């Protein structure tokens, strides 16, 4: 049955005064929005299948294409929004679970936008980062409870405490878990290359590590998720760190599903599953039903890697996130990564993505506070994830208590993603979230690598500017220092959870 109640979301407008019939748009749209009529010698567009990815408008050499919202407006209704109505139409016709991609796009409060950073005036002189050294180097991993220094026979002081394995980051920003499979080979390559170039880390996600990316393994964190794809001793040992994925901010409590048609020869080899079979990640790890079970897996991984790699546990920010994080630390996690409500995904049920979990700002503050209260904050580093849109967001997260952040969506956007949220269709016109050979070649990994490293450089410079303004010369001095934050427009309760004072106080 034709989905006749669902009207197009977008309207494609073509300026006839500028269109030169060059057909670039026709060649670029994987959704067949544009077509060329040989008889009329005319390019025309049908907005019905437009996803609003702007590929055509971006490549149009004359700027003849504009993509607008469909003009067909529903009668205003504050309760029954157009989206609600549309979704009901879709489900009435299809009867299935509605899917979406990328992060939560609902207007839940973005706390970053209610937090303001401090700057020094007179009493604590600010620092010019262009003239003075400014340290962004960050070490992730368990820090000792105390440090013991001994004097050796030669009389020189020597560190007597054994330091747990650490990840050294040149800047406190890492690339989040995005699996090869959910994103293309070229996108995966770019992330790995950029991490190596920028002195930070890229996370493989749960899709295994393609043999081609092994040269970058020392800048990669490999994931062990509920599907255990691509996991073997070599995989664990070649990487810089291992991350156990318990949950994902975009879909807490939900597993993953890479359809069999995307499992080609290379992906099948990398994931270690038969070609053409669905790659299903169960919702839970079926061997982890308790903190004690988690401890067992952490220990098993540490044994398998000779205790040479930090082990991270990634959890979604949910209601009891601080208790879970505390448990993870007590179970031996060296790093706890928390993925908030707005974290991205290649595919998730829309209703889960939009309604489950809590914002990263609150989760991060709560976990940091809880670990401090329990006196175990030093035993693990905290990595925040779930939509960092700017250097300011990163700086605020660090002030709230994060040691570093994961960026996924921002990285995808740097590579060209236009947030059309259709990754799940596999027809990414930007060559990022697709395995279609027509589309994957659109992402030149060298170009994408350059764009990613540029982004990291730009954000790092901005963080240095902010630090300098605060009068501190190292990211360490901002970490967990909530005195550098003030809240605007938040309730007392929210401020209490965030541990920040209102602006003016």
Q: Which positions lie near another protein, rule CB under 8 A? A: 17-18, 20-24, 27-28, 59, 61-62, 436-438, 441-444, 446-447
- Closer residue to another protein, CB minimum distance, 190 or 490: 190
Using alpha carbons, select from 25, 10, 115, 32 the residue that is nearest to residue 63: 25
Distance in angstroms between the alpha carbons of the first and the last residue of the chain: 62
Q: How far is the CB of 332 from another protein (least distance, A)?
A: 44
Q: How many CA atoms lie within 13 A of 191 on its CB side?
A: 33
- Closer residue to another protein, CB minimum distance, 29 or 297: 29
Six token digits for residue 218:
């020392």
Q: How far is the CB of 432 from another protein (least distance, A)?
A: 13
Q: How far is the CB of 266 from another protein (least distance, A)?
A: 14
Q: How far is the CB of 362 from another protein (least distance, A)?
A: 41
Q: Supply φ then ψ for residue 85, to 5 degrees.
A: -65, -50
Please tell me the total number of residues recorded for the chain in this structure.
505
Read off the DSSP letter of residue 43: E
Q: How far is the CB of 186 from another protein (least distance, A)?
A: 8
Q: How far is the CB of 17 from another protein (least distance, A)?
A: 8
Q: How far is the CB of 179 from another protein (least distance, A)?
A: 22
Q: How far is the CB of 440 from another protein (least distance, A)?
A: 9
- Closer residue to another protein, CB minimum distance, 24 or 291: 24
- Closer residue to another protein, CB minimum distance, 289 or 438: 438
Q: How far is the CB of 265 from another protein (least distance, A)?
A: 16
Strand partners, 348: 100
CB 148, CB 162: distance < 8 Å: no
Rounded-to-integer distance, Cα 119 and Cα 504, Å: 13
- Closer residue to another protein, CB minimum distance, 55 or 114: 55
Six token digits for residue 374:
């329990």
Q: How far is the CB of 196 from another protein (least distance, A)?
A: 20
CB 179, CB 245: distance < 8 Å: no
Using alpha carbons, select from 434, 403, 366, 325 the residue that is nearest to residue 101: 434
How far CA 259 is from CA of 220, 249, 425, 434, in Å, comes to 25, 21, 11, 12
User: What angle in degrees, to the nearest 10, is found between the helix axes of 360-373 and 391-400?
Assistant: 30
**414-450 exposure pattern, b = at least 16 Cβ within 10 A, e = fewer:** bbbbbbbbbbbbbbbbbbbbbbeeebbebbebeebbb
Three-state DSSP class for residue 384: strand
CB 154, CB 388: distance < 8 Å: no
- Closer residue to another protein, CB minimum distance, 68 or 437: 437
- Closer residue to another protein, CB minimum distance, 183 or 398: 183
Using alpha carbons, select from 90, 86, 65, 69 the residue that is nearest to residue 77: 86
- Closer residue to another protein, CB minimum distance, 160 or 447: 447
Q: How far is the CB of 448 from another protein (least distance, A)?
A: 10
Q: How far is the CB of 272 from another protein (least distance, A)?
A: 26
Per the rule left: phi > 0, alpha: psi between -120 and 50, beta: everything else, 428 is: beta
Measured from the Cβ of residue 156, the count of other Cβ atoms closer than 10 Å reads 8
Strands 256-258 and 404-407: what pairing? unpaired
- Closer residue to another protein, CB minimum distance, 15 or 150: 15
- Closer residue to another protein, CB minimum distance, 136 or 448: 448
- Closer residue to another protein, CB minimum distance, 59 or 120: 59
Per the rule left: phi > 0, alpha: psi between -120 and 50, beta: everything else, 141 is: left
Read off the DSSP letter of residue 62: T
Q: Supply φ then ψ for residue 171, to 5 degrees.
A: -145, 145
- Closer residue to another protein, CB minimum distance, 61 or 107: 61
């Amino acid at each position: 049955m034709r989905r006749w109640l669902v009207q197009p979301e977008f309207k494609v407008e073509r300026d006839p005064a500028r269109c030169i019939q060059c057909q670039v748009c026709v060649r670029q749209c994987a959704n067949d929005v544009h077509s060329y009529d040989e008889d009329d010698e005319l390019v025309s567009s049908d907005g019905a299948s437009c996803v609003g990815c702007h590929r055509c408008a971006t490549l149009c050499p004359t700027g003849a294409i504009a993509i607008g919202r469909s003009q067909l407006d529903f009668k205003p209704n504050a309760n029954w929004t157009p989206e609600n109505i549309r979704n009901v139409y879709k489900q009435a016709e299809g009867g299935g679970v509605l899917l979406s991609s990328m992060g939560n796009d609902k207007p839940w409060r973005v706390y970053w936008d209610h937090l303001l950073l401090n700057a020094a005036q007179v009493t604590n002189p600010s620092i010019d980062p262009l003239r003075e050294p400014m340290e962004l180097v960050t070490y992730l991993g368990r820090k000792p409870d105390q440090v013991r220094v001994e004097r050796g026979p030669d009389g020189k002081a020597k560190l007597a405490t054994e330091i747990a394995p650490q990840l050294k980051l040149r800047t406190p920003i890492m690339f989040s878990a995005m699996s090869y499979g959910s994103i293309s080979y070229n996108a995966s390559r770019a992330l790995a290359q950029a991490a190596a170039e920028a002195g930070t880390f890229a996370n493989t996600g749960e899709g295994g590590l393609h043999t081609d990316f092994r040269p970058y393994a020392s800048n990669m964190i490999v994931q062990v998720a509920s599907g255990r794809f691509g996991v073997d001793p070599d995989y664990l040992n070649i990487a810089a760190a291992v991350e156990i994925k318990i949950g994902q901010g975009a879909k807490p409590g939900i597993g993953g599903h890479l359809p069999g048609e995307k499992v080609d020869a290379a992906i099948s080899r990398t994931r270690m599953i038969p070609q053409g079979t669905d790659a299903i990640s169960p919702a839970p790890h079926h061997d982890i039903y308790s903190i004690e079970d988690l401890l067992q897996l952490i220990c098993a991984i540490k044994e398998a890697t000779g205790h040479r790699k930090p082990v991270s546990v990634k959890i979604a920010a949910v209601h009891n996130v601080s208790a879970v994080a505390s448990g993870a630390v007590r179970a031996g996690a060296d790093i706890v990564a928390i993925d908030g409500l707005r974290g991205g995904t290649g595919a998730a049920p829309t209703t889960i993505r939009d309604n489950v979990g809590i914002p990263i700002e609150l989760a991060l503050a709560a976990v940091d506070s809880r670990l401090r209260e329990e006196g175990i904050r030093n035993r693990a580093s905290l990595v925040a994830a779930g939509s960092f849109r700017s250097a300011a967001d990163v700086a605020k997260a660090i002030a709230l208590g994060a040691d570093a952040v994961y960026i996924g969506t921002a990285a995808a956007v740097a590579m060209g993603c236009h947030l059309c949220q259709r990754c799940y269709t596999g027809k990414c016109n930007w060559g990022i979230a697709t395995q279609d050979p027509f589309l994957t070649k659109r992402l030149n990994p060298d170009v994408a690598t350059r764009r990613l490293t540029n982004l990291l450089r730009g954000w790092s410079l901005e963080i240095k500017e902010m630090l300098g303004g605060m009068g501190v010369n190292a990211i360490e001095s901002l970490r967990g220092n909530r005195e550098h934050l003030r809240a605007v427009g938040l309730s007392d309760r929210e401020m209490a959870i965030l541990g920040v004072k209102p602006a003016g106080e």
